[in-house]
Amino acid sequence: MSDIETSTVSEEGYACTSQVGDFDLQIDATDETGPNPNAALVATYASCYLPAFRVGGSQRGEEDLGKIQIDASADLDDDDDLAAVAFDVHVEADLDDETASDIAERAEGICHVHSALREGLHADVSVYPGAF
C-alpha cells in the first residue's frame, strides 16, 4: 500500500475534485471553480515551507517566531509551465539577517515539496523579520 493515496474525478470540462483523506480539493484549469493546478502547487509549496520555517527556527533556538505570512509569486513560461517561484516570508519575530538566512536555508532542507521539485524551480526566498 502507498503512503499517500488520492482520487481525482472530473465529470466534465476542466474542473476536478480530488479526495485527499477526508478532504475535497477543487482544482480547475480554467480558474472558474477553484485554483488552477499551477496556483495550487505554489500554494502547496508555501504551505509546506511555512511549517518547515518554524521547525528551522526551533532548530536554531528561535522558538517564538510569532505570525508568519508567505506571499508567494510565480512566473510561467510560454507553455504555461512554472518557470520561477519566489517567497516573501514575513516574520513577526525580529531576527538578525544571519539568523533569518539560516532558518530559511534549514526550511529548504525540511520542506518536502521543495525536495520534490526540480532544482531550477526552487523558490527564491526573501525573509522580512519584525514584519508585524
The reply to whether 10 and 67 lie within a common domain is: no
Check residue 1 and give its pLDDT: 74
Give the domain extent around 89. Answer: 37-128
The reply to whether 64 and 99 lie within a common domain is: yes
Q: Provide the residue type at 9 as one letter.
A: V
The reply to whether 71 and 122 lie within a common domain is: yes
pLDDT of 25-77, one tens digit each? 999 999 999 999 999 999 999 999 999 999 999 999 999 999 999 999 999 99
Number of domains making up the chain:
2
59: domain CATH number?
A: 3.30.300.20
Check residue 127 and give its pLDDT: 92
pLDDT of 71-126, one tens digit each? 999 999 999 999 999 999 999 999 999 999 999 999 999 999 999 988 888 878 89
Q: b or e along 75-92 (b: 16 or more beta carbons within 10 Å of the residue's beta carbon)?
A: eeeeeeebeebebbbbbe
C-alpha cell belonging to residue 20? 485527499
Supply the DSSP symbol for 15. E
pLDDT tops 90 at residue 24: yes
Query: Taking a C-beta distance cutoff of 8 angstroms, is the pair 16, 10 a contact?
Result: yes
Q: Phi and psi dihedrals of 47, rounded to 5?
A: -70, -20
List, in sequence order, every residue forming a beta bridge with 126; answer none if it has no partner.
88
